[in-house]
Structure 1
Amino acid sequence: MATDATSYKQLKEDFVSNLSGGSISEINYVTAAGPAAFILWSVLQSRQSFFKPYKPLSFLVDLFLNALSPLLAMTLYADTPLLLCGLFLVPTIFVYALPPNSAIAKKKKPKLPPAAQAQNKASNALSTLSTKPFLTTYRGSMLMLTTLAILAVDFRIFPRRFAKVETWGTSLMDLGVGSFVFSAGVVAARPLLKERAEGRVTPLSQRLIYSMRHSLPLLVLGVVRLISVKGLDYAEHVTEYGVHWNFFFTLGFLPPFIAIFQSVLKAIPSYAALSIILGLAYQIMLETTSLKAFIITAPRTDLFSMNREGICSLAGYLAIFLAGQDMGMIVLPRSISPNSNSNNAAQRTKLLTRMGAWATAWTVLYFFATNFKYGAGLDVSRRLANFPYVLWVAAYNSAQLFLGCLTETVFFPAFHTSADSKTEQEAYHAATSTVLRAFNRNGLALFLVSNLLTGLVNLTVPTLNVSPAVSMGILVGYTAIVTAIAVALDAWNLSIKL
């Protein structure tokens, strides 16, 4: 019996090892299913008020469009993702062609959550920073994809080219790891913008103390995961982060370094420039020293060499975080030109132009870093978190944010034209999916829940031996459970900060 368990564990480790990934274009097609489904959601909401009020049928449609659509894209429609996108976009055209249904909207205004009501009572004036719907949608979608992939990867119905590559190449899950860090960087710009608006500067020592408080829960989660993985003899892929390292440790060790980099801004007043300089410096070290060979081939003789992938890749993830922070400095302020007399529509146009320019800039840099004919001809490596990987993650996420902002601008103009906070809050809730908003609100807590459920499934189900029908049944059930937990926490107005 023990031999069977050992051989199955080895089979599972082999299942996620020595993979080479797939093309970036295919990854773009697969992840496009989410935005395509959200465009259909936007048309249903803006033209027919389908999700006002939010009833059980509304939840089921919301669940299908914003949770099950990406699951279908990475499983049953993995070979035909553009067909799935078309299945969402064709009904969009028909729904948009129908006359707007204003009756539902006139019956009753949606009741805002308690937190939003309290905020409205406190002040009805517009704040300097706003919680923008497209940012909530972007982060919720990214967390949803991550949640789905960490369990789906254990089933044969999930193509191997979407799983994390061994060393060189690109895959859906490689992109997910970097996107998680990039989105954290976007959100981290908020306290910095508040600090600037108030004209105060936090000392380095205070920033380090604050960062340690933020790191501690993540490091504790990393230790808990380490103990549980080793204690339960759970299948693990050592070359992913190392023998003891895991993604929670990566997230936990980033804040102190980020706090230190705030001081560097005095010399280089741009997060994007810092990101590029750091990524380039790390890449030069990989190419001109023995660091690359050490990370890939060195024997695991001590604590550092055992976890060399996780420790050394911190430089790349820090560069990704800084790139996200730079995008956050652009998208979070209410006005992209605070001293300008431009109206809200003109400000939104400037925002779109600037976001599009940055998405293009990151893409051009990626092209020259990886192209063999016109550029440096470097390969992407998530294991190293090298410079091409940093550029790929920054380009993809910047483009996703741009697409989200464009969708919001087209279908929900009431948000960026709001004249007071009450109207803006109502427009925000009308323009965001309840499912995605709930994931965005408790992202890290739900990521932990999904990790626990993934472990439970793997310990109770021989995922490699079940049929496609059973695989989809388990994955749909898992998606529904995690989504129900997220929506319940949001309905109860609970925010779990980790």
Structure 2
Amino acid sequence: MERDYKARKEAFVSNLAGGSIDEINAVALVASALLQVSALLWSTLQSRLSFFTPYTPAALLTDFLLNVGGILFATTIYSASPLLLNILLLSPVALILLTSRRVRPRQKQAKPSRHAQQNATQTQNLAPFPVHPFLTTYRAAMMVVTCSAILAVDFPIFPRRFAKVENWGTSLMDLGVGSFVFSAGVVSARAILKTQVTAKSALSRQSNLFQRLVAAFRHSIPLLVLGLIRLYSVKGLDYAEHVTEYGVHWNFFFTLGLLPPFVEIFHTLYSVIRSYEVLTLLIITAYQVTLESTDLKAYILVSPRGPDLLSKNREGVFSFIGYLAIFLSGRATGLRIIPRGTTDIKPSAAQQARRRVLVSLAIAAISWSVFFIFNSTPAFGYGAGIPVSRRLANMPYVLWVSAFNNAQILLFCVTETLLFPSVHRATDKETERQETKFATSRIMAAFNKNGLVVFLVANLLTGAVNLSFNTLDANAWQSLAILIAYMALVTAFALGLDASGLKLKI
């Protein structure tokens, strides 16, 4: 009976065809709209009613329903009518915006220093690389979607068109795994920016490759250990697995663990090619040319699995090239949006800096989209018409993930700019801290602060649920109850870590 159930589980997530590019883009647009609408409603409630300050039990429940429950409902009970869910969320937004004015957090009055009075145009009290609420919300949203989907996919209530496809086409989960890597690339830019400020010369920034590789491997060790633990757990517990996803032994933790050292190697090229976008295109173009001009594509997709480790894990090994390109693309975005962009505290200077960020994100989103269209479709007879493949992590997949995530960040940034303009106009560190806290969901901040640890706990809970419950035969209400309880536990864990002040790095 257990063997039969395992076979059913594996069949449930295998050989899925996804859908056409147009259909999948429509699904992605719906998911994107839901994330944006949920963030917009949260921002409207906070900016106009200060609903989440103080953070009462009612505020906590509303925060959970909007930022966690929204995406869970959109991919389950509202999957057939996402427009209705968006209307339900947008209606109070319109009502509140039309009937109330923006409020600001109460700020402590501080006496200006003599130096500040003498030199009021310099932001010496402000960090050059501030914490951006829109970036926190974006990264946390990606984490919430990922944590929700890794368990929801095991229930019939989660549509099969949202699950990872076998070979060609994409889905919501295909987009999610790429977005997870992209968001990691975005925040990795902060370390690069700090190094550029502290290093005395360009030569010193590039000459310490060995030290940076050692640090990268230290960061990789915990992730590789987690990958080994997952490997032995799956094999030891005879857990249902989708072998063609990454291979017989490979899993996503190995991909995450190997990214840091390879990224550092490619970072050495940054002194020669001063654009991570160009590096991304060079890597993925070389990979795609190899796929098309050799037998590599057939080897990955249809070749019998031999006894050697490479043959057994060829999906994970070769798709790593695509994920590396996605990471570098994310870093390119991070380098543009993380810096403050001005040393002048005048409102006009702050507005110009924010405008440059918005324009930069818009140009990036449009550029990656154009590349994707001409790469993956016939495009009026001029396109390459290469199908998207998450299993290969090929060129159109990388371009699609890059376009989608730049567009997502742009929309989050627009929401913050319109509803919380005081964040980027702050003239001192304490005001900026208060405005940033006011403009950030407590739950989203918690998910962002300990993202990888939360993801690990979500994986452990997913395994526990699958080992103790028959997910395949659960009805809609049983499925929804389990998924809500699961996400509540994951959220409680994230909030607990945040409340204790712990920031665990893996």
User: How many Å separate the matches in 2 of 1:402 and 1:464?
Assistant: 38
> CA 1:105 to 1:426, structure 2 compared with 1: closer, same or farther past 3 Å?
closer
Listed one character per residue, the Cα deviations across residues 66-120 of structure 1 (whole Å, up to 9, x for unaligned) are 0000000101111111221111111101111223385x955x87xxxxxxxxxxx
Specify the alignment match of 1:325 in structure 2: 331
User: How many Å separate the matches in 1 of 2:43 and 2:412?
Assistant: 11
1:31/1:73 contact within 8 Å kept: no
Specify the alignment match of 2:71 in structure 1: 70
Specify the alignment match of 1:425 in structure 2: 433
User: How many Å separate the matches in 1 of 2:195 and 2:392?
Assistant: 34
After the TM superposition, which residues 130-145 of structure 1 pair with which residues of structure 2 at under 5 Å, given as runs?
A: 130-145=130-145
2:414 counterpart (406, 417, 420): 406
After the TM superposition, which residues 386-397 of structure 1 pair with which residues of structure 2 at under 5 Å, given as runs?
A: 386-397=394-405
1:362 maps onto 2:368 in alignment:
yes
Q: 1:166 is matched by which residue type in structure 2?
A: E
User: How many Å separate the matches in 1 of 2:195 and 2:348?
Assistant: 24
User: How many Å separate the matches in 2 of 1:392 and 1:460?
Assistant: 37
Specify the alignment match of 1:125 in structure 2: 125
Specify the alignment match of 1:224 in structure 2: 229
Which stretch has the larger CA shift, 248-257 or 328-337?
Answer: 328-337
Q: 2:377 is matched by which residue type in structure 1?
A: N
Specify the alignment match of 1:29 in structure 2: 30
After the TM superposition, which residues 43-442 of structure 1 pair with which residues of structure 2 at under 5 Å, given as runs?
A: 43-100=44-101, 105=105, 125-200=125-200, 201=205, 203-301=208-306, 302-335=308-341, 343-372=349-378, 373-442=381-450
1:16/1:237 contact within 8 Å kept: yes
**How far 1:192 moved relative to its partner?**
0.6
Q: 2:334 is matched by which residue type in structure 1?
A: G
Listed one character per residue, the Cα deviations across residues 226-268 of structure 1 (whole Å, up to 9, x for unaligned) are 0000000000000000000000000011111101001111221
What is the TM-score normalised by the length of structure 1?
0.94
Identity %: 52
**Residue aligned with 1:415, SS:** coil
User: How many Å separate the matches in 2 of 1:206 and 1:454?
Assistant: 37
User: How many Å separate the matches in 2 of 1:15 and 1:358?
Assistant: 37
User: How many Å separate the matches in 2 of 1:124 and 1:63?
Assistant: 37
Q: 1:266 is matched by which residue type in structure 2?
A: S
User: How many Å separate the matches in 2 of 1:391 and 1:284?
Assistant: 15
> CA 1:343 to 1:383, structure 2 compared with 1: closer, same or farther past 3 Å?
same
User: How many Å separate the matches in 2 of 1:469 and 1:296?
Assistant: 38
**How far 1:180 moved relative to its partner?**
0.6
User: How many Å separate the matches in 1 of 2:224 and 2:51?
Assistant: 42
1:13 maps onto 2:10 in alignment:
yes
1:469 maps onto 2:474 in alignment:
no
1:335/1:347 contact within 8 Å kept: yes
> CA 1:124 to 1:483, structure 2 compared with 1: closer, same or farther past 3 Å?
farther
Listed one character per residue, the Cα deviations across residues 392-426 of structure 1 (whole Å, up to 9, x for unaligned) are 00000000000010000000001000001111011
Listed one character per residue, the Cα deviations across residues 446-494 of structure 1 (whole Å, up to 9, x for unaligned) are 0000000000000011000111110000001111111111111111111
Which stretch has the larger CA shift, 200-209 or 160-169?
Answer: 200-209
What is the TM-score normalised by the length of structure 2?
0.92
User: How many Å separate the matches in 2 of 1:337 and 1:160?
Assistant: 50
> CA 1:260 to 1:484, structure 2 compared with 1: closer, same or farther past 3 Å?
same
> CA 1:495 to 1:366, structure 2 compared with 1: closer, same or farther past 3 Å?
same
User: How many Å separate the matches in 2 of 1:335 and 1:51?
Assistant: 30
Q: 1:393 is matched by which residue type in structure 2?
A: V
Listed one character per residue, the Cα deviations across residues 145-191 of structure 1 (whole Å, up to 9, x for unaligned) are 00000000000000000000001001000001100100010011011
1:124/1:421 contact within 8 Å kept: no
**How far 1:193 moved relative to its partner?**
0.5
1:17/1:165 contact within 8 Å kept: yes
Gap runs ≥5 in structure 1 = 110-122
> CA 1:146 to 1:333, structure 2 compared with 1: closer, same or farther past 3 Å?
same
Q: 1:154 is matched by which residue type in structure 2?
A: D
1:30/1:78 contact within 8 Å kept: no
How many residue pairs end up in the alignment? Answer: 480
Listed one character per residue, the Cα deviations across residues 168-226 of structure 1 (whole Å, up to 9, x for unaligned) are 00100000110010001001101110111123415111111011001000000000000
**Residue aligned with 2:271, SS:** coil
Cα RMSD for the two superposed structures: 1.8
